[in-house]
Structures are given as C-alpha cells and as structure tokens.
A = this chain, B = another copy of it.
Amino acid sequence: MRLWENTIRRVTPYVPGEQPKGENLVKLNTNENPYPPAPGVIKALKEFNTDGLRKYPDPAASVLTEALAEYYGLKEDQIFVGVGSDDVIAMAFMTFFNSQKPIRFPEVTYSFYKVWAELFKIPYETPALREDFTIDPADYHGNTGGIIFPNPNAPTGVYMPLDQVEEILRNNQDAVVMVDEAYIDFAGPSALSLLDRYENLLVIQTFSKSRSLAGLRIGFAMGHPDLIRALNDVKYSYNSYTMNLPSQILGAEAVKDRAYFEKRVKQIVASRERAKKRLAKLGFTFPDSQANFIFVTHRKAGAEGIFQALKEKQIYVRYFKTPGLNNSLRITIGTDEEMDRLFEELERIIKEV
C-alpha cells in the first residue's frame, strides 16, 4: 500500500476532443476558424526577435491590452487578458462568485461552467432552456450569487437579443453578470454597449474562433476598471507570468487588422447561411444558429450513426453522448469546399438510412 496515494485529489478526468491528424481530412468538430490568421500575424512571426524570448514576458501584456482597447474603444484598465477564455472564466469564477447564494447558468450550455463551480465549491442552479432552445430571461431575475451564460449559447448557437441581456442585468444589480461571447462576432451586437450602464457586467471573448488563433490560447474580459483590477489582483496573487511573448505580440497583430477580420467573419457567416439551406433540404432540423457552428438533428437518421459514417470518410463533426444532446451533431462551419464535401457524404449516408 502506498500511503502517499491517499493525499491525491481524485477527479473525473475529462477527455479532450479529438484532434485528428492527416492530409485529406475535414475537421468540423472543435469550432476552429477554417481560415489562417491575419497576414500581420504571419509577418510578425517571420520578424520575431528571438532574443526577447530569454526574458520574462510583460506580466500586464500591455501590447495586447492596448491593441484591444484601441479596437473596442475602451480604456486599457477595462481589459483583462488570459491564456484562453477558459483561463479568463475560471479566474473570474474565483474572483467574483464568492456569495453564499447559488450562481445561475443554463442547463444546456458550455460544459465547463459546472466543472469550475464544483472545483471552487460555488453553489449553482441550472434553469432549463425553453422547448425552442432559447434562454428565458425571467429565469435569471435576481437573488443570485452571480450569472454566466454564453451568447450565442453553446452548443445551440442561439443568440439572445440585447434587450433580453439587459433585462437580466437590470434584474441583477447585486452580483456580477458574465456574458461569455466566444461566438459573438458571428452573431448580433455584443453586450459591450451595455458596459457604460452596468458596472457589474463582465464581457468575455476569445481569439480562438473569429480571430483564427486557437493555437495561441488568448481570451479576454472587458468590464468596469474595478472588476478588471480585482481580476488582476487575484491573478497576480498567485501567478504573475502566464501569457507568453508570442501570444502577446501575435495577438496584438491579429487585432490590428480590422479589414481582414471582418472579411473572414463575413465569409463564415455566408457559408453558415448556405449550410442551413442545404442541411434543411437533407432533412435536418436545427435552432437558428448565429455562431460558427450548427447544432443539427435529423428527422430519421440517428446522430451517432451519422457521426461514425462521416468519420469513416475522414469528416469529423462533434457528437455529445450527454442525454438530451445525444441525438444531435454540432457541425463547425468550414470553407465552402469543406462544407460541400460534408453535404455530399451526408446525402449518401441519409439515402442509405
């Protein structure tokens, strides 16, 4: 018997999504951007001052927060950056969700909220979605330890109009409300415009989807300087240097190129709308996604069967075994060429059912 094993923390290990490798595969399973990062990112890599790598990076990541402040018309002290939005959200849970009252997030949503709440021993409640997959703002009125929801929601892709987001804020002045806008650039307006009126609003975004930089791990939060200061205090209290030099420099370059960003987002949105038509014709139903993915259910063919059949043809989509989700597939929007290959295979698979 090895006594030292008694002190090991026991957790349910999460198995990260498949990252298949190969030449001819179509990867539509992790909501990555099918287009490369902005040309400025590529240029900065080629011109990178490698000697700089020997030194610790700027703990405040100023070059990046400056670029973000400029882009979003905010002050630098309204922006917090972290190693992916997972890092930012986990830090925000630790910093802001310290009430005895339960926090609230949707029953069907990003699966890590529950994980972090349990890790930090934060009580939580999870109101169900409506039949049509929308969030009912009335479920989020008052008396909570805090609120978080993605907009658009995951894995449904459903966008909540800004007046409903504001309804939630108006009814929660006593706790921090976080809007996780990982997919907002493919959807309607951001809650950023509400920052002036709601000091307890934290808006969280990422470079992993619309900015084609999942490989760099960059997420950020925007909010009142008091919220940002609290986040930085918690971060600096236990780990000062987390965001490495390449992320700071290349991330800043990605933000500077507004034209490239807007062009790519427009392309993906066009491909998504085209995909909706094709998928409907193929017999799929889906909530009206405003993200870079569509959450589809087929009228006849089972999701797991389609998932396996596509995988055999080197096309990867996302299948969740979770009850309630296990008859659906989440399909990331790729290039039109990738989507055409998907439609072709889907047509064949569905004919055979």
Contact = CB atoms under 8 A, between A and B. Distances in A.
Interface residues of A, number: 87
A14 to B, nearest CB: 5
B55 A215 contact: yes
A236 B87 contact: no
B242 A83 contact: yes
A48 B55 CA distance: 21
Nearest to A46: B46
A174 to B, nearest CB: 4
A60 B32 CA distance: 18
Contacts of A146: 7
Interface in A29-85: 30, 32-37, 41-42, 45-46, 48, 50-59, 83-84
18 contacts: A3-B173, A4-B96, A4-B174, A4-B175, A4-B199, A4-B200, A7-B96, A7-B146, A8-B96, A8-B176, A16-B236, A36-B53, A53-B214, A54-B214, A56-B208, A87-B242, A217-B241, A217-B244
Interface of A: 2-9, 11-17, 19, 27, 30, 32-37, 41-42, 45-46, 48, 50-59, 83-84, 86-87, 90, 94-99, 112, 115-116, 119, 145-146, 173-176, 199-200, 208, 212-217, 226, 230, 232-234, 236-247, 250
